[in-house]
Structure formats: C-alpha cells, structure tokens
Amino acid sequence: MAEQKTLLRALAGEKLDTPPVWMMRQAGRYLPEYRATRAQAGDFLSLCYNPDLAAEVTLQPIRRYGFDAAILFADILLVPQALGADLWFVTGEGPRLSTITDQAGFDALKGVDDIHETLSPIYETVKILSRELPQETTLIGFAGAPWTVATYMIAGRGTKDQGPAHALKDENRPVFEALLDRITAATIEYLAAQIDAGAEVVKIFDSWAGSLKGDDFTKYALEPAKQIIAALKARYPHIPVIAFPREAGDGYIGFAKATGADCVAIDNSVDSDWAAANVQVDGCVQGNLAPHHMVTGGQDLIDETRRIVKAFKNGPHIFNLGHGITPDADPENVHVMLEAIRG
C-alpha cells in the first residue's frame, strides 16, 4: 500500500496530475471538534501528552477532509521540556520556558539519552495513528529545527526578531553552539523514535530560519538540518524527510541538495513560479498558499490555489499552505481549496 500513497510518490520525485495535499496545523483551533477535545484534555500540554486524545485530534481533519497525510499532533517545545527546561503555556500569549543563557544553564540540561521518558506518550500517539489512519493516508512525524528550538530556550518565549538568541550567538558562541549541538542530537533520537513507532515521513520545522543571514544561515540552519537528515538516512534509508527553512528566500535554492532533504517546504513570501524555476529543479517542493486565503475564501482562494497547482505541475509537488492555518480560518474554505485542487 505504501507504494500507492500519493504523498510518498511525490516525495520519491514522481510528477502527479493531482498533487497530494495536507495543511500545516490542520489539527487545530479552527475546527470545533478540536476545541471540544482540547477542552476535554484540560490544557494544551495535557492534550499533547494524552496519546488517545492527541491521536483523536490528528484524525479529526482526516475524517472531515480526507487529506493525503496526517501530521502527528505535538509541539516543537516538547524536546526542550524533555531536556529539562520548564515549559508552560499562557492562555492567549503562547509558550513560556525557563531560559538557557549561560554555561550553568546549559550544564543543568539533561543528556540526550534521558529524553524518551518524557516523550514516550508521543511515541504511543504515533503507534495509535499508524493503526487507525486510513490505508491511503501517510503519517508524518516532526520536530523543530535546532535554531528555532534554541530561540525559544534562550528567550523563554517566542520573539519577533529572535534577538536574545542572536545576542547569545554573538556574545557567548561556545554556549550557543553547545546548545544547538545538544538539541540536534536530541532531535535525531526523537525523530528516530517516531519512525520506530510508525511515522512514514518526518518534517523539520525551522520557523525562524529567515532571521539567519549569510554564513549564519549555513552554519545554524543548513548544517544542523544536514546532520539530522544524514543520521536519519543512515538508519532509515527509505524514510523521506521534508525540510522547512521558513522565509529562507534565496536560501531555499540548493537547500535540498545541500542537506539531503527529499522535499523543501516553502513559505508564501516567495512566488511559486520562482520556486518552480529555482527550487523544484532539485526535487519535490511543498507549498505555498498564503494562510489568509483560508480566512477570506471566495474566488481569490480558488484562483490562487489553481495558480499554485499550475506553477508546480511540471515536477513533484505537495500542496500545502505557506505556514500554519490560523484559528480564524473558515473550515468551509478548506473544502473550497480541496475542490480547486482535486476538482
């Protein structure tokens, strides 16, 4: 059955008449059934660590829309928590973490071998999904990229310009690089455990890659991705990897070849025709409808969806948004998008 899954075919480099489709954050607050399940869990982290409920919210958009892939419901900040950082969520404001800003803070972190006790419920969620997903639906596991995860661990929260992480990078390079190395090693083991549990594809989310410029982009976005992918490919040669260095701009060019990624996901700050000419030449591209279309809908949604499909029609393509679907999206607009792709 795996050979027939359209998402795996696209990742293997096959050009398909109709691209496979899924959405980042497809299990999320825009769906009433998600909100009901989250209320049942009590809070966001309780939902992440409850395998039955996490599997349920992963399955909800598959039942409703029939996407070609389901992505594990979890959060990129579970790895810092597994490494010993304190993690909590403030309603309406997002995540908060204890901070790593010096050698003492780094020395207090746990070793990579110790992460699995905290993360074992996530692996159980993957096992449930591998049993319960429809046969034609591909299961995607994921983790945050080291740079993006580090920005949260250094600042203790999300920031507009990732200033605290850039400051530590410039002022205490040894601690900064040691932190990235620890996250990189943990990410390899975390994704490997997801694959062992049944993930058929893994994705590396580097949400803040765009704030790294020049040599910093190469050293702290590209090189960690290359290291993670090489380690995974050594163990699991047939498991595809999607890399998402968001807002990389020209950094998208050659990223797949440089890192060994099977697919590069692109955000909506770059034009799809440009990406077809410059990124898709190296293989599969995923993207890149602007998420605001899922709020506004209408003919613009249909036209833009069709334009993106047309732009990438000459090579392997996975249709997705350029970033996650937002809580104010209209669930009916997802049906409109799917009809424009498949209709």
Quick one: pLDDT band at residue 3, thresholds 50, 70, 90?
Answer: low
Known active-site residue 63: no
Report the side by side order of strands in the sheet with 317-321. Answer: 69-71, 138-144, 201-206, 241-245, 263-265, 284-289, 317-321
- At residue 57, what are phi and psi to the nearest 5 degrees? -70, -25
pTM greater than the 0.85 cutoff? yes
Known active-site residue 29: yes
pLDDT at 184 (0 to 100): 98
Q: Determine the 3-state secondary structure of 243 from DSSP.
A: strand
Class of domain 2-342: alpha beta
Quick one: pLDDT band at residue 1, thresholds 50, 70, 90?
Answer: low
Choosing from 38, 96, 157, 307, the catalytic residue is: 38
Choosing from 65, 152, 190, 220, the catalytic residue is: 152
**pLDDT for 206-216, tens place per residue?**
999 999 999 99
Choosing from 29, 35, 64, 307, the catalytic residue is: 29
Rounded to an integer, the average pLDDT of 250-275 is: 98
pLDDT at 92 (0 to 100): 84
The CB density around residue 115, as the number of other CB atoms within 10 Å, is: 23
Known active-site residue 38: yes
**pLDDT for 242-255, tens place per residue?**
999 999 999 999 99
Rounded CA separation 197/288 (Å): 29
Choosing from 34, 49, 68, 75, the catalytic residue is: 75
